[in-house]
Amino acid sequence: MHNELSLKIWGLIMLDRDGFRPNVGIILLNQKNQVFWGKRIRTHSWQFPQGGIDRGETPEQAMFRELHEEVGLMPEHVRIVARTRDWLRYEVPDRYIRRDARGHYKGQKQIWYLLQLMGHDWHLNLRATSHPEFDAWRWNEYWVPLDVVVEFKRGVYEMALTELARFLPRHDHRNRYLRGGMRLRDSESFDGLQNGMSAPGDGFELPPGATFEPDPQASLSTSQDDEHAPT
């Protein structure tokens, strides 16, 4: 009975013959080639936006859908710079997989997109849907600190960043901010704490330049998040 239920649940989600779910990852650049770096909601882990490819979707269609759901951006706010040539895979340890999925779901296989933001910081919205993925974000240097990424994703992050690094747009050194030595992150970032938002509790300190967006559901029980559901 348990196996029949598992097969029925996983019949709704696309898995390949090896148990990997097709997925997209997003590396979003600003005009300084810094990347969007998001803090997973109610955790201390940071990551890039990512999400599963639904039935009937192309990887590009899934990328634009996830971009809106997780970051609030529309296609007109970005341009596609590059994507990885092949799928990049990682396995998810059993302790992070729901019990009903074990034996069926093995991990993710991802196509990674490198995007450049053509809009403004204020177009980003972590509350574009009722199921937010992040509760804080910041611009980070391209080579992100992998020690704050959940361990089983680090290899794929390194592979994606390495493959896509050669496509990074060149800086315009005539830019008046760069010429004047002004740091945009410090001078122009819109800090959520200045907009009346409350800071994270439990003594958690955000990195410089990060923006915190409080979760309206934070007071609800989080017991349902104890086990990882693949996205």
Q: Give residue 205's pLDDT.
A: 56
Domain ranges of the chain: 2-215
Q: Classify residue 215 by its DSSP letter.
A: -
Look-up: residue for tokens 């017991």?
Answer: 223
Q: Give residue 5's pLDDT.
A: 33
Give every CB contact of residue 202 below 8 A, 6+ residues apart in sequence: none
Q: What 3 state SS string does 161-198 have?
A: HHHHHHHCCCCCCCCHHHHCCCCHHHHCCCCHHHHCCC
**Closest by Cα among 200, 72, 231, 196 to 136:** 200
User: What string of pLDDT tens digits covers the 231 residues of the chain?
Assistant: 333 333 333 556 789 999 999 999 999 999 999 999 999 999 999 999 999 999 899 999 999 999 999 999 999 999 999 999 999 999 999 998 888 888 889 999 999 999 999 999 999 999 999 999 999 999 999 999 999 999 999 999 999 999 999 999 987 544 434 334 434 444 343 333 333 334 444 444 565 556 666 554 544 444 444 444 455
Contact 211, 191 (CB under 8 A): yes
- 69 alpha carbon, distance to own chain's centre: 11
Q: Give residue 86's pLDDT.
A: 97
Extract the runs of DSSP E, i.e. beta strands, from 102-183: 107-117, 134-140
Look-up: residue for tokens 């330049």?
Answer: 209
> Which CATH number, 3.40.50.2300, 3.40.50.300, 3.60.70.12, 3.90.79.10, labels domain 2-215?
3.90.79.10
Give every CB contact of residue 135 below 8 A, 6+ residues apart in sequence: 39, 40, 41, 42, 126, 200, 212, 213, 214, 215
